[in-house]
Amino acid sequence: AATLKPYLNAVRSSLTAAMCLQNFSSQVIERHNKPEIEVRSSKELLLTPIIISRNEKEKVLIESSVNSIRVSIAVKQADEIEKILCHKFMRFMMLRAENFIILRRTPIQDYDISFLITNFHTEMMLKHKLVDFVIHLLEDTHIDANHFSEINEQFMEDIDKEISEMKLAVNARARICAEEFLKTVN
């Protein structure tokens, strides 16, 4: 839709600015080095959070600090099916948060999925690639009516194909079993 491009551009430039992180040792506990956005021990190290809304239901919350940033996404869920799909999809990813490296195991209150990106991530990965990843996720989870029926059709097609293949496989095995059995009997 017309509002998608400006929404994604606004998120992209806000993320690029908020992701200017650096290594920072804790100033409250010696020898600690923790993401300040999670620990929140010193208020001066936290930046003002910003919310970029496409509409009431779809928004992105960006909370940044000196060495870490939290990005939370609220995805549009117009009806029950979308709610379930979204919940399943997000849960699938969050259960495997370690593999995604920058994913947070639980989302922030009022949001569906959250990322925690620290200076260690921006040191080992390219910053603009991290931003691209988040933007792509926004695009992918953007379910609108047209898109949903496409996904649904594709899904039904795939299911039908799998069921047909399973039927064929079962028949093939049955035939082979019968042949072998008849060989021994004959």
CB neighbours (10 Å) of residue 42? 13
123 lines the binding site for another protein (CB under 8 A):
yes
When the beta carbons of 31 and 183 are compared against another protein, the nearer one is: 31
Q: What number of chain residues touch another protein (CB under 8 A)?
A: 20
40 lines the binding site for another protein (CB under 8 A):
no
HEC readout, 77-111: CCCHHHHHHHHHHHHHHHHCHHHHCCECCCCCCCC
48 lines the binding site for another protein (CB under 8 A):
no
CB neighbours (10 Å) of residue 71? 28
Contact indicator for 52, 10 with CB cutoff of 8 Å: yes
Shortest Å distance, C-beta 59 to another protein: 24
Q: For tokens 């988040």, what's the residue? A: 134
25 lines the binding site for another protein (CB under 8 A):
yes
46 lines the binding site for another protein (CB under 8 A):
no
26 lines the binding site for another protein (CB under 8 A):
yes
Classified as helix, coil or strand, 58 is coil
The DSSP string of 121-145 is: HHHHS-HHHHHHHHHHHHHHT---H
CB neighbours (10 Å) of residue 122? 19
126 lines the binding site for another protein (CB under 8 A):
yes
Q: Pick from 1, 2, 5, 22 the residue near another protein by CB under 8 A.
A: 22
127 lines the binding site for another protein (CB under 8 A):
yes
Q: Pick from 3, 9, 42, 149 the residue near another protein by CB under 8 A.
A: 42
Q: Pick from 1, 5, 44, 99 the residue near another protein by CB under 8 A.
A: 44
Residues at the interface with another protein (CB under 8 A): 16-17, 20, 22-27, 30-31, 33, 42, 44-45, 66, 122-123, 126-127
